[in-house]
Structure 1
Amino acid sequence: MALGIGAAVYTAYFSTHGLPGASVAGVSVTGQTKSQLAAELGERADQVSVTLQIDDHSRELSLADLGISVDAQATADQVFAANENLGQRYSAVFTKQTSPVVATVDESKIDALTAELVSEYGDPAKDAIVKLGDDNASFVIEPAQAGTGVDASDLTAAADRAVQTLSSQTVRLTTSQVDPHTSTDQAQTVADKANKLVALDVNLTGRESDSYPATATQKAQWITIPTADNGSLGEPVISQEKVAAWVQQTADTAGVEVVNGIRNVNQAGTVVSTLQEARDGWQVNNATQLADNLVNALGSGQPYAGSFSFDKVDPTYQDKVIADGAQNLSYAAAPGERWLDVNLGNNTVTAYEGATVARGPIYVVPGMPGLETPTGKFNVYLKYQSQTMRGTNLDGTTYVAENIPWVTYFTGSIAFHGAPWRDSFGWSGPGGSHGCLNMPVADAQFIYGWAPMGAVVVSHY
């Protein structure tokens, strides 16, 4: 009976306390409750550190610094999992059970720490690179450079020991030479291959046997050198996109843009004059095929010569119906279109509707020498029944002229207007206007009322 009572007491006690022979992190947990064990594990984890020794330098890191988090409760749960089984409680008297510490590791922190150590105590290796030279027409290299690295594998092992023993560790890390992934010789080999591609002749021919050779600078822009994440270089690659862009640009140059004609036709539909001759256009139709052939040739290490083929683009004509006889005037007006002819050769202004005179010739006084009335094609854009005009004389002084009647502007400060102070018109020279067209008041009033906004004004000699 006594044996039975003892067994019962044993079973009851070790249902909530650490079993005989049970340990974690090198320490016996026999007789501890789960909460006691979890608390102890947490306290021990907080005290653990890993001391790094690199050359003459030393650094102490906590588990958190290493990205390690000890889960004390999960570890305690794992240790006490055996207590749930009656058989395991009894067998614990005859066996030893060591449970590992449960922990999570943030690998990115280890990687960041390693990079920091390399940066602080080492000298990263530099891969040789291939780049476009200053001439933009050839490839050159920047040589490789060996570096000094830090072997972090011992750090990882020390961190693992610190976790599983929950005891501080000291680890000595060594530095050693680190060779680059891409050597100077390897980069030079790639650069030589790229330059051989640049040296290949590329020429396209147009309609009139016009030649369009690719320059070394243009060809160099087509070539890319792929680089892997670890710095190693791939073979030179011809960019399909860049070649296609060059071929299309060259095709645009080789082509001829269509010019559509412009003709004046009279009211019967007969062509009476041509304002702009039509010209056939020629558009390249094989740019895509030439680009593909060019890429394939260069990819095979061969020069390339190709010829553009063209589609003819027929021009069209824009016909403007003009008043009968308007082709003989300074402006080919549409039937009924109101416009004004300024003849500076005989100092007159004539108002036309189509090719029919509506008023005139009206004798005027144009701009004096040095302030001549401009020539060209203009449009009426502003009107005043009366206006005070201000301006600058040839000698730099200013003038003010009040109550100028029936003002019709057609370019800048130049207008038709009445000049009641003059007693003669139809002449030019010294004593003329400041650029405007002085005319009798009645004629100025007619133009003001007759000419619509936008009406064409043609001034000529």
Structure 2
Amino acid sequence: MTDQRNQQPAPEYGAMREDFETTQAMPPLPETAPAPLAGTMDAADAGAAHPEDLNIGTTVATRKSRKPLIITLIVVAALLVALVAAFFGARAYYQDKVAPGVRFGSTSIVGQTRDEVKATVKQAIKDSAITVKDTTGNTSATASLTDLGVDIDVDKTVDDIMNAKSSSNIGEDILRVNPFGHVDVALAATPDNAVLESYLSAKLVSDAERAVPSSITYDGNAHAFVAAEGRAGKSPKLGEVVKAVKQAIAKPGDAATINVTDETIDAPIALDAAQKAADAANQRLNNKIVMTNGDAKQFELPADTVASWIKTESHLDQGSITLSYDTTAIKKFMSEQLPGQLNQDMVSQEDIVDGNGSVIVAAQVKGVDGVTIKNTDDAADQVIDALKQGNGGTVQVASDVKKFDVKQKQSEWRVVIDKSSQTAVVYHNGQQVKSFLVCTGGPGGNETDSGNWYIYLKYRVQDMRGYNDDGSKYLSPGVKWVSYFNGGEGFHTATWNYGGIASGDPANHGSHGCVNMYEQDAEWIYENCPEGTLVQVVGTQPTGAVR
């Protein structure tokens, strides 16, 4: 079939332009409008069949330009998901392992567990040996860091490595698992140049040639610190060794070799400097520190124990000795010793009452508060402060206190001493069971004290000593069956005063305050009247014999 459109004459230029402008004036189709499908156009659509008439080219170009953006967004989203997954995976993996980027000397430790890190640290310390060659004396020594006075805390070092780059913040955790962020961890260590100098001097210089600093030591026999004088002599120049030690602490794991030369020096620490340090240490021993529970118990810190807490540090570059205190040992002592020294059990007070409940003897058994000490570390800190000040003093340890209660007790046994009749009558549960002849204390301040007392101390045999009215001393050896009830007053055998007992005449045959008895009577009191027996002294002092 012949195409009719191809046989039509070509339009004039002006007509084409007019058609073009007409087309441009038409409102464009919406961008979202679907493209017309072939074979569905009606008569009105037939005139707009050319793409330039329908503006289809613009719509297609718009749709095609969005595809790269969508693809890009999908790729970015996928990458973000992958990154988030990688972050949380890495975060979980390194939770109990060394984080990426953490460095310890020249050893690779990323991903190591705590036990592996500890082994690595110990090996690095071992590998950090320093060889020192003395070119003057042609001697040498290979020393570990510990030999050279470095106090290394392995556990603290391991903690520092495991916690490097750690955080509870997720934002900072991103930095923690970032392998490009580096953290160098050093040994947790403290160097002591005095130990270094002493060790290498002993290794590199002979005893006869070596310079020795004055020092102080504790003399256990004298219970005091004493100063020992040093001497002038040779000493290796150790500046480069000190630098090597610092380098080994910062980056452990590599051995080093250092060359040194000797020099002649005075005693690194003079005697007067050592004596000054010894005097300061002895001040801490002489100014006593007393620990108390704030109630009935206290104890003084032993000098030898305090001396063991005092540590000296020699500063060779300054020519001085300073004191410090072993806080760990002090706290250990306080936690172990204070409870046994200062805790006390509560003891109920016991009052003796009569049948009507009236108190006859208050505090026959003295009440004691229960005390349980606490916060021993706080007490240790107070002791450390007292040592630093050098003034001694009393440290009251914090405690929990349980107040004692009061109990009333009716005495099962009771002895009534009647000075008027010079007798002693014994009651058991209110019933009279015995009556004895006695001779009480004589005149001139020796009269047996009236009042309510109780038996508190007994002796089968005792040598009694005291003073007569004229001030002379007396001794009564081998006195039997002694039962004290009021200070130095008590029942006892008085074989030398049987006449005074028989006559009941304290005015002429009285004692120094005790109750003189026949031996069998004093023995009966001793055997039958227990401690706590109520003793009531009544009546008036007779002026002569009552029997």
The answer, yes or no, to whether TM exceeds 0.5 is no
TM-score range, shorter chain: 0.3 to 0.5
* TM-score relative to the length of structure 1: 0.34
More strand by share: 1
More helix by share: 2
Larger Rg: 2
